[in-house]
Amino acid sequence: MWRNIIRFSRGSNNIIKRTYLSDGYKLDQEWSQRLTTSILQKINSENLYVDLSSKFQQKKKITAIDVDIYMNKADERNVEEAADLLQKLRLTSQAHKILDSSQHAFIRLAQHHTETLFSVLNSRLDYGVFLDNYTANLLMDSFIKEKNFMLAARVATIQMLQEDMTHPITRYLSLYSCYKFSDNLETFTDLIPPAPVEVEKVAQPVSKKKKEEIRKRVGYLRNPYNDDHFDLTNTNHLVGKTFLYLADEIKKDDEALANSFSLLGYALYEKYEEGSQFLEKSKQLPVYKEVLEKISTFGSKVENLDENGQKFYDNVKSLSNQKDGKVDEVIENFVKKAVSENESKDIEEQKKTFQKWLELREQTLNNEINRLKRIQRLEDIEKLQEEMDKQEQKLWFFENIENIKLDIEDKKVFHPQRWFGKKKKPKKLDENYVPPDVESITRARRAK
């Protein structure tokens, strides 16, 4: 029996993948409870999408609560439609009212459709979807489990751009993801520009006529500007800035680890002058030997190093207070510690958040229904008032005929007289003037 158990355990090692968060952290069962509510049970997601799309085309209006209902009702087959509705909502006056549950639902919906997911997360102005600590943890843990460290590191860089690394689990999962990704740095796939489409040129017959001159309006050229944060598109720079951001956060936990990732961050971010200044202040501080070797390897691949860069790498090689140890194992221990201390608390808080979202959805929907009813009542009152005025005019027509005539006269539109130029004075006519032909005729008559 024990042999069979040992064989099974050996075989299962090839199947089970490493993960840090427990299955209970995902709260799949609690999240599915939203589908049992009366609001979502009555909804057909396909019909709702068609209705919202046609409403947007006709009136350029859709509400945040309608989008939220669709997001929570849709499944993985509707990822593209969900992204389309988010973009349409951002073009309306309701853009600022997008609900947190809509963003959470979309991230869960698109977590296996990574191309669409990161396209939406990168275009924050166009879609209005932002990661929070909980969803960032879910995504990074899932990608680490699949050993897709590039996508896990991409999530970490997005969190860095949002400047939100306060949560211990998020902090160390981000650090682990970026460090594993630094072993084999590649360009983030969502940052690769699309290949230009080649258009086949059709040979046109030579014409002797003069070619027509075609002029096209071009956009206004602005001076180039880079804020060195949201405008970063270089993968190494993004990862390097993430290391620098995380180094400040973990300094109180492990000084050697913080120093090591500060240096690695300066190297990847190519901030050599700042890196040299950091080294001058902390020459005797401990650093991990493994990270220094990685920095040296990276430096040997950099082409056309300037003076500041050469000085930085020379200073890195001269560091003497080097510490042995596997850095990924050190980070893993911090990850496990953060999970053990914060996982149960996160689960309870997220359960409460799900319940709040259910109550908020019902309340927002009722408010929207009441608003539409008020608008409808006002429209009905206006129509009734118009009908009463017409009826009153009919009943009291002869008594108010003079007033009616005055009203009609007031409603007449008098157009200003057109000006055709200055009028010419009419010529003065001579009363004694006799045309020549008439005079000759009279003379002839007298002669007779």
Q: Are residues 136 and 81 located together in one domain of the fold?
A: no
Tell whether 440 is covered by a domain: no
* CB proximity list for 165: less than 8 A, separation 6 or greater: 159, 171, 174, 245, 246, 249
Decide if 83 contacts 118 (C-beta within 8 A).
no
Does residue 438 register a pLDDT over 70?
no
pLDDT at 3: 45
Q: Are residues 158 and 245 located together in one domain of the fold?
A: yes
Q: Are residues 126 and 136 located together in one domain of the fold?
A: no
Q: What is the mean pLDDT of residues 152-170?
A: 93
Please state, in angstroms and as integers, the Cα–Cα distance from residue 106 to each residue in 78, 97, 116, 421, following that order: 10, 16, 10, 69
Q: What is the mean pLDDT of residues 319-326?
A: 86
Tell whether 313 is covered by a domain: yes
Tell whether 326 is covered by a domain: yes
5 pLDDT band, cuts 50/70/90, is very low
Q: For the chain, how many structural domains are there in total?
A: 2
Token couple for 285: 């501080």
pLDDT at 439: 58
More confident residue, 439 or 339: 339
By three-state DSSP, how is residue 43 classified?
A: coil
pLDDT at 6: 38
Q: Are residues 248 and 305 located together in one domain of the fold?
A: yes
Q: Are residues 165 and 311 located together in one domain of the fold?
A: yes
* CB proximity list for 135: less than 8 A, separation 6 or greater: 103, 104, 107, 108
Does residue 176 register a pLDDT over 90?
yes
Token couple for 48: 């709702």
pLDDT at 8: 35
For the whole prediction, is pTM greater than 0.95? no
Tell me which amino acid residue 406 is.
L
Q: How far apart are CA 263 and CA 247, in angstroms?
A: 9
Token couple for 12: 């299962």
Q: Which of 312, 332, 352 is the last residue of a domain?
A: 332
Cα atoms found within 13 Å of the Cα of residue 152, Cβ hemisphere only: 26
pLDDT at 102: 95
pLDDT at 411: 77
Q: How far apart are CA 289 and CA 246, in angstroms?
A: 19
Does residue 165 register a pLDDT over 60?
yes
Identify the residue whose tokens are 């359960």.
351
Q: Are residues 94 and 164 located together in one domain of the fold?
A: no
CB atoms under 10 Å from CB of 168, counted, come to 19
Q: Are residues 62 and 175 located together in one domain of the fold?
A: no
Please state, in angstroms and as integers, the Cα–Cα distance from residue 409 to each residue in 113, 401, 414, following that order: 69, 12, 10
Q: Are residues 38 and 111 located together in one domain of the fold?
A: yes
Token couple for 229: 């944060």
Does residue 73 register a pLDDT over 80?
yes
Identify the residue whose tokens are 């650090």.
175
pLDDT at 82: 95
pLDDT at 13: 42
Please state, in angstroms and as integers, the Cα–Cα distance from residue 249 to each residue in 163, 195, 257, following that order: 11, 39, 11
The sign of the CA dihedral 43, 48, 52, 55 is negative
CB atoms under 10 Å from CB of 147, counted, come to 11
Specify the length of the chain in residues.
448
Q: Are residues 273 and 314 located together in one domain of the fold?
A: yes
The pair phi, psi for residue 288, each rounded to 5°, is -85, 130
10 pLDDT band, cuts 50/70/90, is very low
pLDDT at 298: 87
Please provide the DSSP assignment of 432-446 as one string. T---HHHHHHHHHHH
Tell me which amino acid residue 125 is.
L
Query: pLDDT for 190-226, tens place per residue?
Result: 777 766 656 555 555 656 666 777 888 877 777 777 8
Q: Are residues 117 and 41 located together in one domain of the fold?
A: yes
Whole-number percent of the chain with pLDDT over 90: 51
Tell whether 187 is covered by a domain: yes
Q: How far apart are CA 239 and CA 340, in angstroms?
A: 27
More confident residue, 7 or 169: 169
Query: pLDDT for 136-153, tens place per residue?
Result: 999 999 999 999 999 999
Q: Which of 130, 149, 170 is the last residue of a domain?
A: 130
Please provide the DSSP assignment of 175-227 as one string. HHHHHHHGGG----GGGSPPPPPPPPPPPPPP-SSPPPP-----PPP------
CB atoms under 10 Å from CB of 236, counted, come to 17
Q: Are residues 246 and 282 located together in one domain of the fold?
A: yes
Decide if 275 contacts 263 (C-beta within 8 A).
yes
Give residue 113's domain range: 20-130
More confident residue, 279 or 414: 279
CB atoms under 10 Å from CB of 330, counted, come to 20
